[in-house]
Amino acid sequence: MKRACLLCVMVVIMLLMGTTPMERKAMGSDSTKGSGQRSKAFNKTITKNLSCKYLLFLPEGYGEKDKRWPLMLFLHGAGERGDDLNKVKVHGPPKIVEKKKDFPFIVVSPQCPTGALWNNKLDVLINLLDEIIAQYDVDTERVYLTGLSMGGYGTWALASKYPDRFAAAVPICGGGMRIMSFGLKDVPIWAFHGAKDNVVPLEESEEMVAAVKARGGNAKLTIYPEAKHDSWTETYNNPELYTWLLQHRKVKKTQ
């Protein structure tokens, strides 16, 4: 009798060893009930679709000779969201290059969907950048990031998440969280803001610049004493901005 019971136990053990977790759960050996702490593991593969509309400007002379060009990624403000790319041409570099065909940058100007924020589209932006670099003659040591208002917030966020990708960043009337300064200390930053901005308070830029400096970073802030929210028109019309950008290169660190 004892031998028969022992044989039955051995058969059950062998059966359990040959079953899947799902089968064992069905048999009651992997119950989710009961108290206590257990070690668990989770693993799941998902597929994500990324897409956006964008304007692409190639400067006069592009493709005529073996040359790599600096690239500027421009993030518009909340008012230009939607699916009409003509709205993106209202401000900043996309507006400038409509007339200035010799603008010395490849300019990529994506459009954020209605109701969305750039801060929630960082994966779209960095993958768009990868796509442009793969297809066009981009100098990867001279990739620059800039944006205004909502795009200013996006500039702080994208540069902090991917600091190794940008040689310099220009956030205009934007802001962010001071914890972002950990990722920004190696990205030269020139921020701009209007002292009388009644949409995004000046303190937003002041706090971010101070936080980056506190981490030993290279950041500066230009304040327009009489400007309200529109601090971008004067900024993008200033030739010194582009001279400053082109002075910076992102050289990969050697091990």
Residue 47 lies in a domain: no
Q: Note whether residue 81 is domain-resident.
A: yes
Task: Please report, in angstroms and rounded to a whole number, the separation of the first and last CA atoms in the chain.
Answer: 71
For the chain, percent of residues with pLDDT exceeding 90: 80
Q: Please give the Cα distance from 171 to 142 (Å, whole number).
A: 17
Greatest Cα pair distance in the chain: 98
Query: Does residue 31 belong to any structural domain of this protein?
Result: no
- Give the CATH number for residue 127: 3.40.50.1820
Supply the range of the domain harboring residue 96: 53-246
Secondary structure (3-state) at 237? coil
pLDDT value of residue 232:
97
- Rounded to the nearest integer, the mean pLDDT of the chain is 89
pLDDT classification of 251: cutoffs 50, 70, 90: confident
Residue 218 pLDDT greater than 60, yes or no: yes
Instruction: Give pLDDT, residue 65.
Output: 81
Residue 35 lies in a domain: no
- Integer Cα distance of 144 and 65 in angstroms: 22
* pLDDT 10s digits, 158-212: 999 999 999 999 999 999 999 999 999 999 999 999 999 999 999 999 999 999 9
pLDDT band of 64, cuts 50, 70, 90: confident
Instruction: Kindly give the pairing relationship between strand 189-194 and strand 219-224.
Output: parallel
Beta carbons of 213 and 154 less than 8 angstroms apart: no
Q: What is the pLDDT of residues 1-58, one digit of tens each?
A: 545 444 444 544 444 455 555 544 544 445 567 888 989 899 998 888 999 999 999 9
Torsion sign, CA atoms 54, 55, 59, 65: positive
Domain assignment present for residue 4? The answer is no
What mean pLDDT comes out for the span 63-91? 95
Domain count of the fold of the chain = 1
Q: How far apart are CA 68 and CA 240, in angstroms?
A: 22
Task: Tell me how far apart the alpha carbons of residues 133 and 130 are, in angstroms, rounded to a whole number.
Answer: 5
Whole-number Å distance between alpha carbons of 77 and 230 = 11
Answer whether residue 14 is part of any domain: no
User: Is 225 contained in some domain?
Assistant: yes
pLDDT at 181: 94
Structural domain includes residue 43: no
Segment 53-71 mean pLDDT: 93
What's the burial of 78, exposed, middle or buried (CB within 10 Å: 0-12/13-18/19+)?
middle
Q: Which residue has the higher pLDDT, 255 or 63?
A: 63
